[in-house]
Amino acid sequence: MLKHGAVINQLTLEQKASLMSGKTTWETQDIEELVPSMFLSDGPHGLRKQLGESDHLGLNESVPATCFPTAATLANSWDEELVHEVGECLGEEAKANDVQVILGPGLNIKKNPKCGRNFEYYSEDPYLAGKMAAASIRGIQKNGTIASPKHFAANSQEYRRMASDSIVDERAFRELYTTNFEIAIREGKAKSIMSSYNLINGVYANENGSLLRKILRDEWGFDGFVVTDWGGDNDHVAGVKNGSNLAMPGQGKNGPLEIIAAVNNGQLAESTLDERVDELLEIIFQSTATQNKNETIDWDKHHQVAKEAAKRSVVLLKNENVLPLNAQQKIAVIGDFAQEPRYQGAGSSVVNSKKLENTLDCLSDYPLNVTGFAQGYQRDGKMNQDMVGEAVNLAQKNEIVLLYAGLTENFESEGMDRTTLSMPDNQQQLLKELAKTKAKVVVILAAGAAIEMPWVNQADAILHGYLSGEAGASAMLEVICGNYNPSGKLNETYPESYTDVPFGEEFPEQGKYAYYKESLFVGYRYYDTAEKKTLFPFGYGLSYTSFNYQDLQVQSDGIKVTLTNTGDVSGEEVIQMYVGCSQSKLLRPKKELKGFKKVQLEPKESKTVFIPFDDKTFRYYDVKQQKWAIESNTYEVFAGSHCQDIRLKDSIVVNGTNVDEISEVSEHYLNAELSSVTIQEFEQLYGKEIPKDDKKNMTELNRTAVIADLKHAKNPCARGVYHIINSLLKRGQKKGKPDLNLLFIYNMPFRTMAKMTNGLVNMPMVDYILLMVNGHFFRGCYRLIKEYFKNQKRQKVKLV
């Protein structure tokens, strides 16, 4: 039964087909007097509404908006209310700008710390990521703006992101890579979701009926619309058939004409098209009915929310009796980030910040005795001995150095993965020299993800602010001077060295297939089970006070713990509940996060806290039965301050179903000895033959080959194009700023030319370009020119 049958009956086939793809880069198609248009905008940590020339990479200017901390930062707060409040502000700014849909939050699982976009994602853990996303969605949608969590699903590397095929076993897929989205959809009630660019086990996410209909709608009760990632529409008809409602950006007349032809030749049932239109109309009508353009924004309030969010997300990683600082200590401020902050990532999430702070300007508002500033290092990574000399001189005259350091812009971005987990060498050199002075060095980090710290012993204290948004500078000063007691806990593991990361040398996968060989052992699930030491474990974060855990009571519906603040200052602690099943007959990590609560306590105050169990606490995905199940067994329940600091432990017997002894998993997997896992063992776990790159056929490029594959092209000119792009990319890298446009093109499949040129190129033209690339230059060129004129004519057809 269609909800909007009365409207749909008045629409022609052409009009219905036109609704399935965008009108422009950001707007959906409107139909006069019947269907209004919706405006969609990035992004997860601040509105990016473009009014002038549009692009989807954050290059062209967008309207000024509050820049909140990025998702990775906010997740360190473990504070759902706070994330909700940020979401609410985002929703308000969208509403005031006549934007109906915010493209976010981003909640992909951080499979590997080198994924260039980890700054935009919440966590390596699906429970934490899902809870944060749900809170953000509830906030965004509170006033009628629509949230579109992304990128659904198993999209954990940037290299070849539009064409890579995530080969992931079903348990890991359900228990990690979709549980995050399940929580976001069920608890956040998102009215939209963005499908990811990649394929999952051979099928594009956007054409995956099992994902978009069976799991998303039937199992989770999703009742919104599915939008493609920008240019992520591979086969438009297959997308619509399998549950995708909207291909973005606009494809000129090409998208609608493909749908019309498919209906006319029986490939797509008109009733299916009607269903997709109906699902989309429901949200278009809801969201446009509640818009109010005259709403004004309280920018000061939003700036305060951004500050509060940044402050509550700061993680204290180390403190050898240095922090907080007092008004008498003589302080040197060193580091370029103190004058020009690194506060947000790069790519589609870039915000044109309304009111950007920097540390130097904020200092006078705090009781800190700062005697001077030195830049210390060059942003472009080049060594500058004069700057180091000047910084050391200044340090020598002071008791404390506040060193503002971290990753510069070219270290992490959408569109490229990181090549190293290290901080720039010139900053490490500077720290080494500063550590030789008598001054105590407090390192204040800005980076959107985990970094290696071989220098950890040279710092007396380390505060990590992540990418803290426009008010990050003052937020950090609140912590430094002790106005606020840090309460952030890491959303991800910090390995001692990248060599400890499972399958690290294979990331990002260079070929077509991205093998998710870690299976269930992502992040702390691996380090914990393999008993591998880390630099900072998942959930870790210090405080200026200390907490005592007492009286764990495991009840049938949850746990109770009594927490006492045993120090002299008020503070907040995140109690983390982990569950394990050491007697399990299944492949399982030692323990997994299943609940948490942030608790505020005055000195000497105690509170008894209840953390409930829910449907996710004991479940696993039964692949044979194709459903969730609970193994009858005894489960260990842990309460702790981070995953390696378990303070209390008890157990509970849970009745479910009996599980047969497993035979399909190798000992290496069972013991989490991932460095010994072979591709055959992964294949056994995966349950069927895994696809492999056809190395012999590399020179014959097809629609799904990416521009980077031009390296293997038969046509020498095409290979030349590859080398030009490659050297331009390297040049950008050297300059200290990645070229996002080029990065996008580099990882872009050929078919995307027909999806992102607003009708200028169509699919036959892509095929003729490929003919040229594959060594038939003149034949391809002739056909391309002929098709170009045909396509131009086709674009003039009137459809709506």
For the bound state, the minimum distance from the C-beta of residue 38 to ligand BGC, rounded and expressed in Å, comes to: 14
Enter the DSSP assignment of 360. Answer: H
Smallest distance from ligand BGC to CB 103, Å: 4
Smallest separation, CB 254 to ligand BGC (Å): 19
Residue labelled with tokens 């006549």: 98
Q: Which residues contact 790 (CB under 8 A, 6 or more apart)?
A: none
For ligand BGC, what does the binding mask look like between residues 226 and 245, x meaning CB under 6 A? Answer: ---xx---------------
d(CA 700, CA 717): 15
Distance CA 767, CA 705 (A): 12
- As measured in angstroms, the least distance from the Cβ of 227 to ligand BGC is 9
Three-state DSSP state, 39: strand
Amino acid at 505: E
Cβ density class 484-519: b for 16+ within 10 Å, e for less: bbbbbbbbbbbbbebebbbbbeebbbeebbbbbbbb
Closest separation in Å from C-beta 92 to ligand BGC: 20
The token pair at 30 is 């409107």
Cα 594 from Cα 637, distance rounded (Å): 9
Buried b (16+ CB within 10 A) or exposed e, 284-313: bbebbeebeeeeebeeeebbebbbbbbbbb
Residue 160 binding ligand BGC, by CB under 6 A:
no
Nearer to ligand BGC, 230 or 620 (CB): 230
Helix (H) / strand (E) containing 649:
strand 645-654
Return left, alpha or beta for 611; rule: phi > 0 is left, psi -120 to 50 is alpha, else beta: beta
Which residue, among 164, 195, 235, 227, has the nearest Cα to 751 in the 3D structure?
235
CA–CA distance, 238 with 205 (Å, rounded to integer): 11
Residues 644-703 that bind ligand BGC (CB under 6 A): none
Q: Facing residues of 330 across strands? A: 369
Using the minimum distance from each CB to ligand BGC, give the nearer residue, 229 or 233: 229
Is 103 a binding residue for ligand BGC by CB under 6 A? The answer is yes
Task: Report the site for ligand BGC in 302-361 (rule: CB under 6 A).
Answer: 348
Task: Report CA dihedral (56, 149, 611, 479) to the nearest 10 degrees.
Answer: 10
Give Cα separations from 98 to 190, 641, 789 (angstroms).
Answer: 19, 43, 37
| Least Cβ distance, residue 161 to ligand BGC (angstroms) | 7
Q: How many CA atoms lie within 13 A of 485 on its CB side?
A: 18
Distance CA 117, CA 346 (A): 9
Give yes or no: 229 in active site.
yes
Q: Is the omega angle on the peptide bond into residue 151 within 30 degrees of 0, that is, cis?
A: yes
User: How far is the C-alpha of 206 from the C-alpha of 226, rounded, in Å?
Assistant: 8
Q: Which is nearer to ligand BGC, 349 or 485 (CB)?
A: 349
- Which residues in the 551-590 window bind ligand BGC by CB under 6 A? none
Residue number with CB closer to ligand BGC (230 or 516): 230
Q: Residues 42, 79, 165, 229: which is the catalytic one?
A: 229
What is the CB neighbour count within 10 angstroms for residue 119?
28
Number of C-beta neighbours around residue 240 at 10 A: 30
| Placement of tokens 């240019």 in the chain | 231
Interaction of residue 478 with ligand BGC, rule CB under 6 A: no
Nearer to ligand BGC, 73 or 319 (CB): 73
Minimum Å distance from CB 150 to ligand BGC?
5
- The enclosing H or E element of 780 equals helix 777-794
Pick 40 or 563: Cβ nearer ligand BGC: 40
Tell me the three-class secondary structure of 380-409, residue by residue.
Answer: CCCCCHHHHHHHHHHHHCCCEEEEEEECCH
In the range 8-47, which residues lie near ligand BGC by CB under 6 A?
A: 42
CA distance 700 to 750: 13
Nearer to ligand BGC, 198 or 437 (CB): 198
Size of residue set near ligand BGC by CB under 6 A: 7
In the complex, minimum distance from the CB of residue 230 to ligand BGC, in angstroms, rounded to a whole number: 4
Binding mask 499-518 for ligand BGC (x = CB under 6 A): --------------------
Nearer residue to ligand BGC within complex by CB, 146 or 387? 146
* Nearest one of 63, 52, 58 to 24, comparing CA atoms: 52
Q: How far apart are CA 327 and CA 603, in angstroms?
A: 23
Q: Which is nearer to ligand BGC, 353 or 426 (CB)?
A: 353
Both tokens assigned to 787 = 């098709």
Instruction: Give min distance, CB of 725 to ligand BGC, in A.
Output: 18
Task: Kindly identify the residues of this chain, within the stretch 77-96, that bind ligand BGC according to CB under 6 A.
Answer: none
CB of 187 to ligand BGC, least distance (A): 22
DSSP label at 534?
A: E
> Which residue's CB is nearer to ligand BGC, number 348 or number 474?
348
- The footprint of ligand BGC on residues 138-157 (CB under 6 A) is 150
Q: Which of 23, 45, 56, 311 binds ligand BGC (CB under 6 A)?
A: 56
What length does the chain have? 800
The residues pairing with 579 across neighbouring beta strands, listed in sequence order, are: 592, 637
Residue owning tokens 């996002």: 740
The smaller minimum CB distance to ligand BGC, of residues 253 and 755, is found at 755
**Are 142 and 81 spatial neighbours (Cβ–Cβ below 8 Å)?**
no
Measured from the CB atom, the residue of 75 and 459 that comes closer to ligand BGC is 75
Least distance from ligand BGC to the Cβ atom of residue 347, Å: 7
Tokens of residue 206, six digits: 């956007």
User: Cα dihedral angle (323, 329, 330, 335), rounded to 10 degrees?
Assistant: 10
Minimum gap (Å) between residue 149 Cβ and ligand BGC: 11
Answer whether the bond into residue 153 is a cis peptide, omega within 30°: yes
Report how far residue 548's alpha carbon sits from residue 573's, in angstroms, rounded to the nearest whole number.
10
Task: Choose between 699 and 758: whose C-beta lies nearer to ligand BGC.
Answer: 758
- Decide: 383 and 426 in contact? Cβ < 8 Å: yes
In the complex, least distance from residue 186 CB atom to ligand BGC, rounded to whole angstroms: 22
Site for ligand BGC in 412-431 (CB under 6 A): none
Q: Could you give the residue numbers annotated as active site? A: 229
Q: Report the interface residues with ligand BGC, using CB under 6 A.
A: 42, 56, 103, 150, 229-230, 348
